[in-house]
Amino acid sequence: MSEIVLFGIENCEQVRKARAWLRRGGIACRFHDFRAEGLDAALLATWLARVPWDSLINRRGLAWRKLAPEQRRAVTDRTSAAELMLSDPTLVKRPVLQAGDRIVVGFSEALYASVFDPAGDAGAAPRA
């Protein structure tokens, strides 16, 4: 099985919930902090090939609200969204879970249970 990586920022409540859920399930993962490690253009391109750009950009967070109105209006497609997320990775909706070939954006217990086992067995390997 390929490495499981959880992307986000340390102080994000949804990231903390996801990390706790994974720990409780005994699921080993590497944490990638956007603030400390940034966001690679190739990785973002991989995500955007599988996840709609408007699902990946966080329009509810503080980073979005701090943008000038013209910057927000300029985000109209995949290219403009990617440029903005690369310039400030905290604009990516969190957490992003990469488990095998699966890319999951956001956190809910039901969503994570469906990733790791359709029956909800948290210790099982991720579904492809």
DSSP string, 64-92: HHHS-HHHHHT--SHHHHHHHHHH-GGGB
Domain-located, residue 125: no
Domain-located, residue 43: yes
Domain-located, residue 38: yes
Interatomic CA distance for residues 3 and 30, integer angstroms: 8
Domain-located, residue 127: no
The CATH number for 31's domain is 3.40.30.10
Write the CB contacts of 67 (distance below 8 Å, at least 6 apart in sequence): none
Domain-located, residue 124: no
Question: Which of 12, 44, 75, 103 is labelled catalytic?
Answer: 12
Count of domains for the chain: 1
Token duo for residue 69: 């109105």
Domain-located, residue 122: no
- How sure is the predictor about 75, in pLDDT bands with cuts at 50, 70 and 90? very high
Domain extent, residue 107, equals: 4-116
Residue 29 is among the residues annotated as catalytic for this protein: no
Interatomic CA distance for residues 114 and 93, integer angstroms: 20
**Global pTM?**
0.87
Token duo for residue 22: 């994974």
120 vs 57, more confident: 57
